[in-house]
Amino acid sequence: MQDASLFVPLFATAAMREVFSDTARLQAMLDFESALAGAQAACGTIPVTAAPAIARACDAARFDLRALAQATALAGNAAIPLVRALRNAVAAQDEQAARHVHQGATSQDCIDSGLVLQLQRAYALLDVDVGRLGDTLCDLAVAQAATVMPGRTLLQQAEPVSFGLKIAGWLDALSRSRHRLRAAAHAVNVIQCGGATGSLAAFGARGLEVAAALAQTLGAALPTLPWHSQRDRLVDLGGALAILIGSLGKMARDVALLAQTEVGEVAEPLAPGRGGSSVLPHKQNPIGCAVALAAAAQAPGLQATLLGAMTQEHERGLGGWHAEWETLPRLCLLASGALAQMNEVLAGLRVNPARMRENLAADGGLMFAPALAQALAVHWGAGAAHDRVTEWCRIAQREGCQLREIAGRLEEVTRVLDAATLDAVFDPEAQLGLAAALIARAADAWRAAQPA
């Protein structure tokens, strides 16, 4: 990935960019080579003196990234020129040790294991930011539990809802994403060590011992088999990242819609230079939401690339493996940026309860029609009540008056519903159902799932 670009800081955090920088990618592959030599020395398959000499040379700062990049374009992958350069670096100090660099391994062992190391670092960063966002949502949902607003279905006002319940929905989805991401990151934390065709033949009779020692050194697990052309773990992680990004996009979409001038129920936080316009002095654009939505627009295609790359040929794939190199890191980068933006948006979200209440009456109180029909259904039956209330809604729309006014002047209504009952029907707080209990369930579930 690029270390710097005009747009990169907008869509990815500095910490995540560092994880997938060229230097970090190179160092992860060198960490594999150093650990491999150490494992082989410990198992007696290379001289004990070779491992320290190889380890000393496994420092990314010693290598010319530009030259390696140019050589990669010719070789087809970065491990080939890297191993050649590593051998030369070791030979400059110990020619005998240089003979044992990368012994028995293949390029994909080096590249895949290096990627696994990077992904674990990426996951650690993401999990912290997911946890921070979840804590913010948890507190916000509880704080806004009694804040009444219009509920909207198919972009039309439906029934009153609690703003806290909307937030609890975001939190519940984030909780599932955290669990999904944690499981996928754990599953993918396995080394790649199989040699050319995955049989460990070049490692000799002690190949499994070497692989186990390698895994232990790298802090990863030893898989049942090498997985050169079986990419399901990586695809599973990509799916978890894409779903997380999609859930962040859902939050962003809701916030952006509520922040429209005509709605005005929430707004992103104010900060100098944030969300301004080059020509309109009054604008405060929801830029945090824009970044999360942009990430959500890209994630499906990236995950589709990983899925499409699964059909790899025989023991080593041609092209499919190569398609992963930038795709999975890109998902990590987008997830980091979307999380950072939504953390900032929701931590400083400006909520306008007064505007929410105003909007409850914006359509003439029609959103109370379901409650009115339900109250009348006890006396008239559900079908008849629904049909009559529908008629009154059309009258309210035509005359530009409130549904409560129409219901209150109809003798057929007042005969079965007294004034107190009608007041309750049109009381938004009385229409929130079990919102408070549901919010508590989401908050309790989030808190209970936190690591000790």
In angstroms, the CA 218 to CA 83 distance is: 19
In angstroms, the CA 126 to CA 241 distance is: 10
What is the rounded average pLDDT for all residues in the chain? 95
What is the structure's pLDDT at 273? 66
8-357 and 366-425 agree in CATH topology: no
Report the candidate in 224, 220, 171, 216 with the shortest Cα–Cα distance to residue 194. Answer: 224
Label residue 44 left, alpha or beta by phi (over 0 means left) and psi (-120 to 50 means alpha): left
Give the model confidence (pLDDT) of 333-359 as tens digits: 999 999 999 999 999 999 999 999 999
| Average pLDDT estimate for 258-277 | 85
Give the model confidence (pLDDT) of 15-46 as tens digits: 999 999 999 999 999 999 999 999 999 999 99
For 293-420, strand residue ranges (E) read 350-351
What is the structure's pLDDT at 362? 87
Does the structure show a pLDDT above 80 at 281?
no
Domain ranges of the chain: 8-357, 366-425
| Average pLDDT estimate for 103-114 | 98
Q: Where does the pLDDT of residue 91 fall: very low under 50, low under 70, confident under 90, or very high at 90 and above?
A: very high
For 199-347, strand residue ranges (E) read 266-267
What is the structure's pLDDT at 1? 43
In angstroms, the CA 104 to CA 116 distance is: 20
Does the structure show a pLDDT above 50 at 229?
yes
Q: Which CATH class is domain 8-357?
A: mainly alpha
**Contact criterion met (CB below 8 Å) for 150 and 161:** yes
Does the structure show a pLDDT above 70 at 280?
no
Give the model confidence (pLDDT) of 180-206 as tens digits: 999 999 999 999 999 999 999 999 999
**Contact criterion met (CB below 8 Å) for 171 and 138:** yes
What is the structure's pLDDT at 284? 80
Give the model confidence (pLDDT) of 141-187 as tens digits: 999 999 999 999 999 999 999 999 999 999 999 999 999 999 999 99
Does the structure show a pLDDT above 50 at 2?
no
Catalytic residues: 277, 316
Buried b (16+ CB within 10 A) or exposed e, 364-376: bbbbbbbbbbebb
Label residue 433 left, alpha or beta by phi (over 0 means left) and psi (-120 to 50 means alpha): left
Q: Where does the pLDDT of residue 361 fall: very low under 50, low under 70, confident under 90, or very high at 90 and above?
A: confident
Give the model confidence (pLDDT) of 387-442 as tens digits: 999 999 999 999 999 999 999 999 999 999 999 999 999 999 999 999 999 999 99
pTM for the predicted model, two decimal places: 0.94
The tokens for 441 are 């369930």
Pick 366-425's CATH classification: 3.30.420.40, 1.10.420.10, 1.10.40.30, 3.40.50.2300.
1.10.40.30
